[in-house]
Amino acid sequence: MNNWYLVRHGETQWNAERRVQGHTDVPLHDVGREQAALTGRRLADIRFGAVYSSDLIRARETAEIIVAASNTGPYEIVFDERLREVSFGKLEGKTWTEMDDEIRAVQNERNLDFAPPGGESYRRMLDRLGEFAEMVRERHAHDDVLVVGHGAAFRALAVRMLGLPDETFWSLSGLRSASVSRVRRRDDGRTALFAWSDAGHLDVPPAERGAGILSHAHLTQ
């Protein structure tokens, strides 16, 4: 039996401005770095068999901050392009309200095969996340694994890990920045979602953040 801990990257300035990021390399801002540090404390005592991250800088920085806080490391982070967010092509940098009405209408139809100009379809993203999931299953059948990445990419990864129809992608809610989700895989191959967008560690009052009270017990059951 093993657990996959999926951590969405900390917040960036473009997140705060509700801009489409996709493959654009936007670093964490101060809030995002603090979020990553809190997540690192949350996961500090979990022993991982491997640590993977998207190669985009907002995920890289988040992974590096989390690993630096670990009490069970050191860990080498494996950066994998397959964990990148979906590419929005020429739409990247726009706010969600600035996107063309036609593009928003197509997205509202939940068409997995639609790709914006210069971008990528959600179906293609599902396929590359499925490839990543299969690779990790083969290499780490009995290891707990930390994966740092992106919101839509993790929805795709969860769909493929759980063996659900691709259309289930639209039913999964978005993930909070620096939240922790957990998928458990049993020795018989059955897989279950145990936590989704758990961000309780981010709500700890600032005065208590250094007091060592950040519990991760329910994540390690």
d(CA 33, CA 36): 5
HSE (CB half, 13 Å, CA atoms) of 165? 5
Type and span of the H or E element at 77: strand 77-79
pTM: 0.90
HSE (CB half, 13 Å, CA atoms) of 49? 14
Domain total in the chain: 1
pLDDT value at position 109? 79
pLDDT value at position 158? 98
**139's tokens:** 């290499």
Q: pLDDT tier at 206 (50, 70, 90 boundaries)?
A: low
Q: Is the pLDDT of residue 137 over 90?
A: yes
List active site positions.
9, 85
Query: Which residue range is the domain that position 45 belongs to?
Result: 2-219
Give tens-digit pLDDT for 138-174: 999 999 999 999 999 999 999 999 999 999 999 999 9
Average per-residue pLDDT for the chain: 90
HSE (CB half, 13 Å, CA atoms) of 25? 7
Q: Count CB neighbours of 126 within 10 A.
A: 21
pLDDT value at position 102? 63
d(CA 105, CA 125): 20
Reference 54, options 10, 2, 9, 90; nearest CA is: 9
d(CA 191, CA 104): 34
Least reliable range by pLDDT among 48-57, 95-104, 113-122? 95-104
Q: Is the pLDDT of residue 41 over 80?
A: yes
Q: pLDDT tier at 94 (50, 70, 90 boundaries)?
A: very high
The whole-angstrom distance between residue 62's C-alpha and the CA centroid of its chain comes to: 10
- Determine contact, residues 48/146, Cβ cutoff 8 Å: yes
pLDDT value at position 187? 86
pLDDT value at position 220? 28
Q: Is the pLDDT of residue 207 over 90?
A: no
Q: What is the CATH number of the domain that holds 139?
A: 3.40.50.1240
Arithmetic mean of pLDDT, 23-32: 98
d(CA 74, CA 86): 30
Q: Is the pLDDT of residue 221 over 60?
A: no
